[in-house]
Amino acid sequence: MHAPSSLKWAIGGRREAALKSVHDFLVAGLFPSPCSGIVVGDALDKDACRRIASSCKCVLTTSGPFAKMGVDLVAACAELGTSYVDITGEAVPFVRDSIQSNEELAKATGAKIVHCCGYDSVPSDLLAALAIKVLRERHGQVATKCVVSSDPYASSGGVSGGTIASAVGILSYLWANKREVKAAVDSGALCANPAPTWRSVAKDVLWLFLPGYDADLGGFHCGFVMATVNAKIVRRSRELLRDAPEMTYKEVMTTGGSIGGLVVALVISGALGLGSLALACAPRRLLAAVAPRGEGPSAASRNSGKWRAEVVARGTGGAVVRGEAVALHQDPGYKSTSIMAAETALAVLSSDKSLGGGILTPACFSSALMDRLERHGIRFSIFKMSLGGTQRRRAFRRKIMFVVLATLLVVRASEIVALARLAPATMFLACAFCVFAVRSTRAMVAVAVALILALDVVGPSSVWRVPAATNLSGQVWLVTGIDSDRAGIVELTKHLVRANASVSIACRSVVACETAVATLGLPLVEVVPAPLDLADLDSVASFSRVFSGSRKAALHALVLNADYPFGDGATTKQGLEISFGATHLGNAYLYRQLEPRLRDRGRVVVVGSAAHALAIDFDLSDLYGKAHGGGFYGSFKAYTTAKLANLYFAWAATTSPSAWSSSSSKKKSDGNQKSSQVVVAVASGFVRASSSSSDTLPLRLLGPFARGVAAGARPLVRAALDDAENVRGKVIDAMSVPRDLFFERGVCMLRRCDVDDALRLQRVTDRLISDFRRGLTTTQPKSGDVDDEDSTGYYYYVVLTCSVLLLAGGAAALASIVKRESMTGPPPWLEFVNWACHLPLVHPLVDGGAWCLGLLACAACAPVALVAGFVRWLMVVFDYGTRVVARKPTTTAAVVITGCDSGFGKLLAVELSARGYAVFAGCYGDPKLFIEAAREDATSVDNLPKAFKMDVTSDADVSGAVARVKAWLAQDDSRELLAVVNNAGAGVSGLLECHSISDLARNISVNYLGVARVTCAFLPLIRERGSAKPRIVVVSSMAGKMACPTAGAYCASKHAVLAYAAALRIELEAFGIGVTTVLPTFHRTPMIENTYESFDRTWAKAPPSVREAYGGEPFIKKLKEASKLHVGLLMWDPARVTETLVRVVTSRTAPPSQVPVGIDARYVNQLLIRLPSVIYETAMAIINSRLRRQVKKAPVTPVARELDAPAPS
């Protein structure tokens, strides 16, 4: 419509008849430049492609899949110098192969070939080019970051068969060429020298599938399905135009900055992941059959669509620009795409020849193209600019606070993990809040303060407090390594002194001990007059002799705290790597030397570290430390291995003390001997020192983030002072919680820890000590001591563990939702999700490939897990049963219940009377039988229900019940009427044609008129003596909302009850009287169990002509079998209905109008009754297919039937 009148253009295709029809339509239209003619040709025919390309200056093609239909046409245009424009979205392989094959040829001939000129990728390419241009011209800055976001709330459109065919083509190609997956994901695949790495590909995948928050966009975002294509085009534009060579580009879908935006982002991310998996696994033919080629949105749909995209770009100086592209009344994928492709072709024709040829992008024609698109209502604009000074300062403060918060999280990782195990639901909510904290500096400060309070005050103090009256008079304690002042050892020593214990301390030198006593303020502490250097076993032996000689009394407790944190490749005097040789072997040898002095039931505290969780493997094949090497990595690996050995030592000293004692040869005969001593390990985190004089520079910098002295010492104090039975054989974590030392329960988190490792360590330790005593040089472990292990197997274990835990978490989440388990407490599946999410993150030394795979596995399932958690939270919020608050039971509150002979009424009467309420139980049968049954079921006979005969169809019985309750209320002014429960009901089953009118009348008189009769009789009494919030409860059924075959009479009566209760609730609202209808489904009650007898009775009453019409006795037999199977599968325990009724009756607040009972009533049946009538009737027809087949087989006998025909004798 906007082309110049001098333009000559034609349409082309394979079928001449179809082309003529379109041509006639175009000629009839009043266009400035009408269609000049038609060109017939097949895109799969090379000669036809050359003929088409030679007949024009520009070819615009919309026929896909382009990897099949466009290859020859592009090659012909490049060869003949004809410009080419298409709307492909097949960046890999089509566009990439086109660049590789035709780039140089097109430059030589001057052909301008422009791919992706539709909704993919014109808006993204032009928005990025506009933002870069504004930054350069108005602010003099080069763009360093650009994010284009699609607005899902302002976008709508359809899909066609061609799009599906293109997607199927791409999937088929990638399925056949799996090595191309990396290129398909890489955003730089269309650049001159693409060099994708697994790191860059992983980042692109995370951006595509994970939700996030962007401060510049001001909201949460999720992946955009066409981002992989658009990002490649934008990256190529930057390479061609050279306007922002270092710019990072991402494309997302913005969902908003509120909690709703986060939920939408999670839902879309989960749907995108599941949809990608379904597309990758679905058969290609099935995908192609969804929308055949040539089919697409209608004209009305194309004119009713809309779309909006936004761009945010940041310059080198901090300036920020924001812009948008908006189009109304046009489908993005079809009408907008058509406009964009046509205008791009016109822009290519009118472009300057100096631009030259080649494989270009829409951004090469950005200025002219944006002007042309604006004529069609597609507007590009910049609506916000900022110099960036204030934002830079805010961003700088935010980054500083983010670094502080990240450092805090890293330093306190062990406490966070321990708190997560202690209160997973709390940590789940805290993690959700941390997402919002990134938005502002104040929120991050609040998170940091709350985290410190939770880790230092709330968590530990709520678990265990130091006993105030602890008396250790006469006990001898030996504490080692006090000069290091780590893990709160000084605070423990002060607690021991205050408890009147005789404390001896040991250090590497006597002078260091005396200095520590004077500096740290430790009065009444004895310094052992001998140095203790764990890196020298001779020093350990000498110290043991001096200590044993100076002490006549037995040793009551030994605290093994001395260690060598980072040896940096150093060795002990015996030639062993210093972390293992001192931290483990030195402590084990000291324990062996002092074990004869330890009193029976003495206590041994092994001070470990939470760093044991980061031990990659337990390798004892290199005791010299040559494989570890120096540097941080080698030192840290050696240290974590030594701390893991500490845990093995504590476990073995508890379960098999003979392996560590000095008299092992005498005790090894009894393999099952248990230690009489209390051996406990401590795995606390990073604790601030009492004095900074002992800290190195890195420890001083991390000191403000570390745990306080008092809080950090609490795990160690509990290990030393708590009752022996509480801590024996346990490891005390950072939250002061005793954990089992069975390694298969996850104490070591990532690594598979087992008894074999501990036994290997015992063998190696025993041999090393024996060699030292015999004066032999230490050697490497023998083949019998160390098992050969494949180190690569560990990495597969990481990925496998991630996958298994995620699957288990997802299955547990679904099971908890379906079964409604633990709805009032922490969800049982949250522990799985907790461990699965932090599993690959707490291990920084894992191989890069395994870490990446594990992170991707967790990231892919995290949105699904969070969505499941959110759905479960909604179920808790909107489920009446889980949020009800019961009033205090009292014998002055009366509850009237009808139909108490059996079923729900009987169970409810017994339960309420057991809770202390005055229950008036109306029975259709003999009340004595009910009293006897209630006496057997009741836990106490002090407050049995007051039973009496009551037929709800009798005015006299109902009046008598009212008089009985009124007389009871008159005895005491404090008595009140709380609720009237209409539970009496009658069920009749069978075909409606078989029922007599008297049967139907009986059913209506009990189920509907009985409810009305009882309610109207008690309403005056409720107004007069009702409680604060009196209520009328009607036990109806989900059958009142559905039409069930063979139960039509029952359904009709329950329909009437529902309408009656709904209207009554509105009418009584002014009096403050509530009306609630409880809607159970099939439950195991006598009424349901008598269904089969009701079938026989109804069938027997039917006239012979009716029975013959349905097929006679074989029909009723099959019907009973089907009904028995159906009801048997769906019958539930009536106790859950009773529990719901108790909540409705005793609720402190007014209950809702309708309370469905059970997952089937709340969700399955609710879904069925809301289906369109056509779908619902089809489902019912499928269910009743056997009934239809049986009726068709039966002969039809046209015999008239009389109403209320007598049953045959």
Report, as residue numbers or ranges, the catalytic residues. Answer: 1050
Two tokens at 1077?
A: 């209808």
* Strand ranges, E, within 316-378: 320-328, 358-360
Query: Does residue 496 contact residue 488 with C-beta atoms inside 8 Å?
Result: no
Torsional class of 749: left (φ above 0), alpha (ψ -120 to 50), beta (otherwise): left
Angle, alpha carbons 971-977-980 (nearest 5°): 135
Beta-carbon contacts of 442 under 8 Å, excluding residues fewer than 6 positions away, are: none
Query: Does residue 909 contact residue 1142 with C-beta atoms inside 8 Å?
Result: no
Which helix (H) or strand (E) covers residue 29, if one does?
none
Rg (CA), the chain: 40
The rounded distance, in Å, linking the Cα atoms of 1103 and 561 is 94
Two tokens at 690?
A: 């009492």
Can you tell me whether residue 116 is helix, strand or coil?
Answer: coil
In angstroms, how far is CA 891 from the centroid of its own chain? 47
Omega of the bond leading into 1114 within 30 degrees of 0 (cis): no
In angstroms, how far is CA 1204 from the centroid of its own chain? 61
> Minimal CA–CA distance to 410: which of 448, 437, 446, 436?
448
Query: Does residue 636 contact residue 566 with C-beta atoms inside 8 Å?
Result: yes
The rounded distance, in Å, linking the Cα atoms of 705 and 708 is 9
The rounded distance, in Å, linking the Cα atoms of 289 and 282 is 12
The rounded distance, in Å, linking the Cα atoms of 111 and 105 is 8
> Minimal CA–CA distance to 369: which of 67, 85, 174?
85
> Minimal CA–CA distance to 760: which of 607, 652, 616, 608?
652
In angstroms, how far is CA 1191 from the centroid of its own chain? 51
| CA separation, residue 577 to residues 565, 580, 593, 606, 631 (Å) | 12, 6, 22, 20, 14
Beta-carbon contacts of 1123 under 8 Å, excluding residues fewer than 6 positions away, are: 989, 1046, 1091, 1092, 1095
Q: Which residues pair with 603 in a beta bridge?
A: 557, 678
Two tokens at 342?
A: 């046509």
Two tokens at 23?
A: 């041509």
Max alpha carbon distance in the chain (Å)? 118
Number of other residues whose CB lies within 10 A of the CB of residue 1024? 11
Beta-carbon contacts of 1044 under 8 Å, excluding residues fewer than 6 positions away, are: 1050, 1051
| CA separation, residue 974 to residues 890, 895, 970, 1072 (Å) | 11, 15, 9, 19
Query: Does residue 169 contact residue 65 with C-beta atoms inside 8 Å?
Result: yes
Beta-carbon contacts of 1156 under 8 Å, excluding residues fewer than 6 positions away, are: 1038, 1079, 1080, 1162, 1165, 1166
The rounded distance, in Å, linking the Cα atoms of 827 and 817 is 10
| CA separation, residue 1137 to residues 107, 905, 1039, 1144 (Å) | 79, 10, 15, 10
The rounded distance, in Å, linking the Cα atoms of 1092 and 990 is 9
